[in-house]
Each structure stands twice: as C-alpha cells, then as structure tokens.
Structure 1
Amino acid sequence: MAETTIRFGILGCADIARKLSRAITLSPNATLHAVASRSVDKATAFASANGFPPASKIYGSYEALLDDPDVDAVYVPLPTSLHVHWAVLVAQKKKHLLLEKPVALNAAEFDKIVDACESNGVQLMDGTMWMHHPRTAKMAEFLSDERRFGRLQKVHVLFTYGADPDFLKNDIRVKPDLDALGSLGDIGWYCIRAILWAANFELPKTVIALRDPQLNEAGVILSCGASLYWEDGKSATFHCSFLSNLTMDITAIGTKGSLHVHDFVIPYQEKEASFFAGSESGFNDLVTAWSSEPSKHIVTTELPQEAQMVREFARLVGDIRFKSLKPEKKWPTISRKTQLVVDAVKASIEKGFEAVHIQEQASVAVLSGLDYLKKNLMGRST
C-alpha cells in the first residue's frame, strides 16, 4: 500500500533548512510544497537552490504560507527566541509542526507550544534527527538487554566542534536576542537527549553544572557541561563546546556491559553507522590483552536519518489526517524532558553551580504520553 504524501511548508531560509529540504525530497511520503521568507527574492533563490518542485509556492511572508490551505505540515528552523510565537501560530492554523531544536528558551515557553498543538489536534516533533536512525533502535536493544548489558550505571556524552571566528562573532547561536542558550541549546541538547535516551527517559533528580563554562562578551554560553544524578545511584556527565575539535561520543556503562559510539549525532557515513558493544569484558591471565573484546555492529539504512525523521513525522501526520488517529504524545514528552534538563543546567550555572532539583510540573497533555513511553519507545521495554 502506497504511503500518503504530506505537503510541507518551510518557514524561513535558515541554513539547516537546506538539509531538511533534501530530507523531505528523499522521504517517500513527503513533498516540498512551499517556502516563506521575509523576502520573495530570498525565498525564490532558496527554492531554486534546494530542488523545490516547479509548482511549489513562494511566499514573501510567514503568514502567507500559514494561510495556504494545501500546506499539511510546517518545518520551523527559526531562531529559538521566535519559536513560541510562530509555533503557536502554526498549530492555530491546524498545521502539523516539525520544530527545530532547542524547542524553546525554557519549558514554560514550550508548554505554550504543546498546549496549542494539543488544543488544535496537530502533531508535534522536534528535529533531533539521530533518534530516527535505525542504529539508535539497535543500540537501545542492547541497553535494554539485562543479560548482556545489565543495569545502567554511568553515561558520558560529548559533542564539540571548533567554530570559526566568523561563527563566534556573527552566528545566531551566539546572539543573546536570537539563541540565548548558545552551545547548551544547540549541541548540549543532543548530549542531554542521549543521556535521557540511555536512561530510558527517566528524568534525573539532580543536575549540577560543571564549573568554569566559557561565555562570550554578551553572556552566551560557548562551552559548558553538567553532571546528572538519579535516586537509584546512576549518574551521567556531558560536555558541549563551540571551542574544541569535532567529537560526538556516547559511552554507556552497565553492570555487565558497555556501549560506545563515536558519531552519534552525524554518522561518519550517511547510509552506514556503527557502534561497539561489550559484555563481561576482562583481561587474559597475563593481563596483556582483553579476553572478551567489544564487538562492532554495523547498521545500514537506505534513507539518511533526517529523511527517516521526516518519514516518521509524515506517517504520524497521515494517520491523523486520513485515519482519524490522535497525535502521538511520545515526541513532545521527550522534548519536554530534554528542555527541563537544559533549564536545570542553565539554572545551576546562574546559581553558582548549585545543585538544581528537577520537579516536573508537566501539563496534562504531556503527561498523557508517559504510559506509551514506558511500553514502546525506540525498541525499549521497562
């Protein structure tokens, strides 16, 4: 049975929108229908450069795109400071919402977005693309295997890249009025998501920011990290930075096994990704070599992870439009948990690296997805 095609509009011509335009083109159940910019000329040039179909619509305002009755879903790659305004308008126009991360400047803003999506019956998903790579599901299977991995004890995550001087001076991610969360929101989001994913999306009870984060002159975070603690004894750390060489590592350690991945956000190769898994590793009798080496697991995919994300989002939209199903709650639930930890790290920095205790005060709309999370999330079971 052929997949129904969902028509996408893109709100803005941000650089990341180039990647999502390609992903929409590659997805078998999605098509590029419209793009909007504050300038018709800019929108026209973007459409031409990014393979939009000849019949696609070009708009010189965001409002005009949202008024297009043929747009089913909208991708919003705007600066984080603009998310709450435009995301709420997208939902009010009954358009389904694929929202770039970080989803908001704080959880209170995100709750406004969730409320708008819930009250208008539209699907919400954030743009954390690596969650949709089939490798992620395979790694989750290993982490949930009590025989091979055991009980999770520690997680350590790194995402850093060396931004050039122009980026550090002019990019929106270093501007307090555009993306005030800086590296914490841009790449720390991925680190926090990875930690929560490894912990089966159980929120930590305590978050403590690591000392000596690096800020620019405007006070935007360029480099930071934090430690996270759970009541059952497991813990995690992460570090994110615009000032260090490119690194994308997850290490998860259990009582019986360990998992390592070195390219978790963007795989070294688009259609092939790997990870290392070890169980009950040890040394030989002379302690000169490992007696049980971690094994390398390779996972292939026909579609890149961004297209996998679009395909899943479009499938959910199609289920709502053509099968009268309700919007899936797991994705906004995951987004909000990630945002809560981002907020806690920021609060800890601002409080002089004091411990911040996370007390989730979720809306009914978000909490209603928790039962689904417990039973069916990325191949995991509780």
Structure 2
Amino acid sequence: MSEPQIKFGILGCADIARKLSRAITLAPNATIHAIGSRSLEKATKYAASNNFPETAKIYGSYDAVLDDPDVDAVYIPLPTSLHIKWAVLAAQKKKHILLEKPVALNVGEFDKIVEACELNGVQMMDSTMWMHNPRTGKMKEFILDPHKFGELRSIHAVFTFAADPDFLENDIRVKPDLDALGALGDAGWYCVRAILWANDFQLPKSVTALPGTIFNKAGVIISCGAALLWENGKTATFHCSFLANLTMSVTASGTKGSLHINDFVIPFEENKGSFTTSTESGFTELVTGWAPLPSQHTVMTDVPQEVLMVTEFSRLVKSVKNEGLAVEKKWPTLSRMTQFVLDAVKTSVDKGGETVNLD
C-alpha cells in the first residue's frame, strides 16, 4: 500500500521552485497538487516545462491555491517582502508552510508569521536544504566528540558566487522593494545558519559588521561580512557576496580537532558529500608537512538533500494532520535565531560597523 501523500501548492513561478518541484515529485510522501501565479498563462507554461503531474491544478492567483481545500501545505518562494502577507494568510487558511529563506525582512515580521502558524496549528519550516543532508549529522557527531574535536573555539563561513550583469541589475535579490537584505539575506543566511549550527545554536553576545560592505546603486548589500563573539571568547566570521567566485566553505576549529567542508550549501554531487577532519594535528619533524594528515569522510545519500527536506516536512505535516500531534517547534525556532542574527548584522552595517549586542 502506497504511503499517504501530502498535497503541495506552490505560490509563484520562481526559479528555485523548479528544484523544489522536482523534490516534491521525488519525495515518497508528497505530491504537487497545485500551482498559482499572477498569470494563468505563466503558471500553465511553468507546470508544463517542469513536468508537473497532469492532475496538478493551475491557478491564476495565489489566493486560489490557498482556497483549494485539497491543498495541505504550500511552498512559498516569493520575494522576501511578500513573505509576511502570504505566509500569514496561508496559516489562516490552515495550510502548512515550507518557506524560502530569508524567512522575513526582520524578526518582527517573522514573529507575526510564527504567531499565525501557532494560532492555526500549522507546521512551518524554512527551506535550508543542507540541514537535512545526512552529511550534516555526521559532521555534528565529530564536532560534539570531546576526544576528537574538543571545545569549539572558532568558525569561519563563506558563501559567494559571481553574479552576471543581468542578475546584478534585474534579479529580485538586488531590488530594495523585493529582497532588501540582498546578499546578506540570500548567501549570508546560510553562513549564519552554519555558524549557529556548529555552535549548537547558542546565540552570540555581539555582532560587528566587517569593513568593506558593498552596496549596489539602489542601496542593497551585494557583499558583506561580520564577526560574532560569544561570552567565553569563542569567535566566528563570515563573508557573503554576489561578486566573487562560487565558494561554499565552513571551517570549525576546536581545542583538539578541526573540520572543513568545501560545499556545505550544495554538494558537488547530489548523491554524496565529503568533509575533512583532523585531530591533534602537528608538523613533521622538519616542519615539511602535517602529521597526522587530515582524513576525508564521504557520506552517501539515496536522494538529494532537498528531497530529504520535503520528506521530513511532509512527515511532520502528516503527524499534525492525520495523527493529531503538535507541530514541531524546532524548525521555526532555528529560523528565528538565524533571522535574529541577520538583523543584528544589518543593524551593524547600517551603523557603519558599530558593534551590536544581542540581549
């Protein structure tokens, strides 16, 4: 007997929705039930070009998707400025929500989304795919090992990609009325999440934007970085940019070991992911090399990380919808922490690099 499937509605025809549409199709417990766009013609073409099932409903508005009684959950890849309107409305319509990142323009907006979800008993999860990769769990095992890694002391994260001229001029991520957080909200979200993840989601004491923030002519951040500090002297830094070659790296250093990953957001290959670790590293006698050498670990996965995300989200939705269980609060909590730190970085940027304390 086939597994009951959660019926998804998709709001909008964003490029990232192509990837998630594939993931929903591949997930064993999910199916695409509907898509809505501001244009019926656009939604029809999008569904056809992305191999939507013939049974998928095509709507000429977002409201029609939310009003469809058979839609269990919605995926919202709309511009960040529209998240609060459509996520709140989706919750009020009793639709569970898979929300693209950044989840909002600021934590105040996100709190209103969470409040709507809680009032209406719907599950919310942000679309940070790498969190669901089995490699992520294996890396955390190493970081938590007191004998191999010790106590975490520093983290450095980088996510950059060299956007082409058309992106820098026309993409929604460079428009102040659509995605006002720019590179900080897009690439920076992943860096901040990685830093918090490595530090077991303990919030830093303070955040300071690094010098060298670059804005486009509309005043949107297209390159920036920040330093984070914890009470015990633990530190982290990150850099995010639309202006440098594709880089997705995280380095975590502990008192006994270190971990490095070169492709943390999107693995080089979707069916496997690697990372390197080293413990009690030192130099050879003549300081001509390392001893012992770092070791590489490869974790295989039967399905891509985005499919695992959709599968887990759908499992949670099913537990609420069919089994009467409470929503899982872990995911909105992690989303809020990430947004909270992003807000602090943005405030520091706006104040010319002034340190912002996170009370």
Residue in structure 2 matched with residue 133 of structure 1 by the alignment: 133
- The equivalent residue for 1:244 is 244
Superposition deviation, residue 306 in structure 1: 0.6
Q: Residue 375 of structure 1 corresponds to which residue in structure 2?
A: none
Write out aligned runs for 1:1-382 (5 A). 3-359=3-359
Matched AA of 1:209 = A
Amino acid at match of 1:356: V
Q: Which runs of 4+ in 1 moved over 4 A?
A: none
CA distance in 2, matches of 1:2, 1:195: 39
1:178 to partner: Cα distance: 0.3
| Structure 1 residue 63: Cα displacement | 0.6
Q: Which residue of 2 aligns with 1:363?
A: none
Q: CA deviation at 1:2?
A: 5.2
Give the TM-score taking structure 2 as reference length.
0.99
1:377 match: none
For 1:369, the equivalent position in structure 2 comes to none
Once the two structures are superposed, residues 38-76 of structure 1 have per-residue CA deviations (whole angstroms, 9 ceiling, x without a partner) of: 111111111111111111100001111100000000000
Counterpart CA distance in 2 for 1:293 and 1:328 is 41
Deviations 1:160-207 (A, max 9, x none): 000000000000000000000000000000000000000000000100
Q: Deviations over 1:283-326 (max 9, x none)?
A: 12222221111100000101101111000000000111111110
CA distance in 1, matches of 2:3, 2:261: 33
- 3-state SS of the aligned residue for 1:58? strand
Alignment identity in percent?
67
Q: Distance in 1 between matches of 2:109 and 2:283?
A: 51
Distance, in Å, in 2 between the alignment partners of 1:315 and 1:51 is 24
CA distance in 1, matches of 2:114, 2:4: 25
Give the residue type in structure 1 aligned to 2:278.
G
Query: How far apart are the structure 1 equivalents of 2:3 and 2:204?
Result: 39
Q: Deviations over 1:325-379 (max 9, x none)?
A: 10100000000000001000000011121110112xxxxxxxxxxxxxxxxxxxx
User: Which AA in structure 2 matches 1:146?
Assistant: P
Output the amino acid matched with 1:256.
K
Query: How far does the alpha carbon of each residue in 1:145-169 deviate from its partner, in whole angstroms, 9 at most, with x for none?
Result: 0110000000000000000000000
Aligned equivalents of 1:312, 1:81: Cα separation in 2: 27
Distance in 2 separating the partners of 1:278 and 1:337: 29
What SS is found at the alignment partner of 2:343?
Answer: helix
Structure 2: segments with no counterpart, 5+ residues: none
Q: Aligned partners of 1:3 and 1:157: how far apart in 2?
A: 39
TM-score (norm 1): 0.93
Provide the aligned length of Structure 1 versus Structure 2: 359
Q: Which residue identity does 1:282 align to in structure 2? A: G
Distance 2:2 2:64 in 1: 31
Q: Deviations over 1:63-113 (max 9, x none)?
A: 111000000000000000000000000000000000000000000000000
RMSD, aligned α-carbons: 0.8
Q: Describe the SS at the equivalent of 1:66.
A: helix
Residues in 1 aligned to 2:144 and 2:167: alpha-carbon distance in whole angstroms: 40
Separation in structure 2 between the aligned mates of residue 309 and residue 320 of structure 1, nearest angstrom = 17
Cα deviation digits, residues 8-65 of structure 1 (max 9, x gap): 0000001111010000001111001000001111111111111111111000011111
Q: Go from structure 1 to structure 2 and tell me whether the alpha carbon gap of 1:2 and 1:55 turns closer, same or farther (over 3 Å shift).
A: closer
Alpha-carbon deviation of 1:4? 2.4
Gaps in structure 1 of 5+ consecutive residues: 360-382
